[in-house]
Amino acid sequence: MDIHPRESSRAEAESTPRWRQRMEQIDSQVDVIRLPDVDGDAPDQDREFCELITLDGEKKTVRFHDYDEVYKVPGFYEGLFYELLQCSSPSRVAALLDDVLEDFEDSSEELRVLDVGAGNGIVGDEFLARGVERIVGVDIIPEARQAADRDRPDVYDDYVVTDLTNLPERHEESLRKQNFNCLATVAALGFGDIPPKAFLKALDLLVTPSWLAFNIKETFLETGSDGTGFSDLVKHLNRDGVIQIQAYRRYCHRVNVAGEPLHYVAVVARKLRDIPDELMEFWSQRGEE
């Protein structure tokens, strides 16, 4: 299947997804994205790849999860995951948070958002559209910040390239000072991306009370079939009253290379108390096993 993102129709209405409106401003360097023919079972999500041909004629095979490679080419991330594979997660997660905020009579304009696994800023852009007070991106690779600066320079008040599993003191100090009251993490948990220990550290950086809005592959929250630890972590946080889940919705995050739906859950929760030291210690040790 070929796709030519430059030929996609212009944003026409208010309902046009935010990422597509933004594509009008991105100088896409993508000519063709070609998915492999799938004969039999689709490959594991972590092993999916495609062929990219850029406008200057360069041709290469890129594994989807090699984000450094993906972000380097303007328009590639959007063309692959959003246009071709119909990813809907940033708007889904943000809309679920909207619903809950409405019930609580809270305003998104008072949110100070920490966007973890921020990538090139598509999630940040959803929050920008909601008029949040402040939004700061965190990602582990410099290519993500470079892509956000290049493609969505107006989104973040700050963008920190750091590792939350081993957060340097200077980053911890500067992040804590910002009194974040909302953690967003979309399409970034599991798969060798953000591990439970890093998610917990992000949660710890928030004031109490705060909001959490995240998504995760549904099997990563199922007891027994989860190798990532997130199912245990979320249960642990709930049981100890650190978080209270307010909304939980299963939906199609995107399709895979064979066109089959990949189901994720969007979760909105409230951080109700500071994370006890024993819990931090437990997950810190477990993360090193």
Asked if 90 and 19 count as a contact pair (C-beta separation under 8 A), the reply is yes
Name beta bridge partners: 51: 34, 61
- Decide whether 198 or 242 has the Cβ nearer to ligand SAM: 198
- Decide whether 112 or 196 has the Cβ nearer to ligand SAM: 196
**Distances from the Cα of 8 to the Cα of 36, 66, 83, angstroms:** 22, 25, 9
- Decide whether 123 or 269 has the Cβ nearer to ligand SAM: 123
- Decide whether 164 or 267 has the Cβ nearer to ligand SAM: 164
Query: Should residue 139 be labelled a site residue for ligand SAM when binding is judged by CB under 6 A?
Result: yes
* Span near ligand SAM by CB under 6 A; candidates 135-143, 171-179, 219-227, 257-265: 135-143
Residue in the shown chain whose Cβ atom is closest to ligand SAM:
119
Give the chain's length: 289
* Span near ligand SAM by CB under 6 A; candidates 32-40, 94-102, 136-144, 271-279: 136-144
Asked if 50 and 34 count as a contact pair (C-beta separation under 8 A), the reply is yes
Those residues whose C-beta lies under 8 Å from the C-beta of residue 115, and which sit 6 or more positions away, are: 123, 124, 127, 135, 136, 137, 138, 156, 184, 185
Asked if 76 and 3 count as a contact pair (C-beta separation under 8 A), the reply is no
- Provide, rounded to whole angstroms, the least separation between the CB of residue 144 and ligand SAM: 4
Binders in 34-93 for ligand SAM, by CB under 6 A: 67, 89-90
CA distance 138 to 144: 9
- Decide whether 74 or 90 has the Cβ nearer to ligand SAM: 90
- Decide whether 66 or 107 has the Cβ nearer to ligand SAM: 66
- Provide, rounded to whole angstroms, the least separation between the CB of residue 160 and ligand SAM: 10
Strands (DSSP E) contained in 85-126 are 112-116
Query: Should residue 141 be labelled a site residue for ligand SAM when binding is judged by CB under 6 A?
Result: yes
Binding mask 106-125 for ligand SAM (x = CB under 6 A): ----------xxxx--xx--
**Distances from the Cα of 42 to the Cα of 8, 31, 228, angstroms:** 27, 25, 21
Asked if 69 and 62 count as a contact pair (C-beta separation under 8 A), the reply is yes
- Decide whether 31 or 143 has the Cβ nearer to ligand SAM: 143
Binding mask 3-32 for ligand SAM (x = CB under 6 A): ------------------------------
Asked if 161 and 142 count as a contact pair (C-beta separation under 8 A), the reply is yes
Name beta bridge partners: 263: 252
- Selected from 38, 140, 207, 280, the binder of ligand SAM by CB under 6 A is 140
Binders in 182-211 for ligand SAM, by CB under 6 A: 186-188, 193-194, 198
CA distance 277 to 41: 44
Name beta bridge partners: 213: 184, 268
Which residues make up the interface to ligand SAM (CB under 6 A)?
67, 89-90, 116-119, 122-123, 138-141, 144, 163-164, 186-188, 193-194, 198
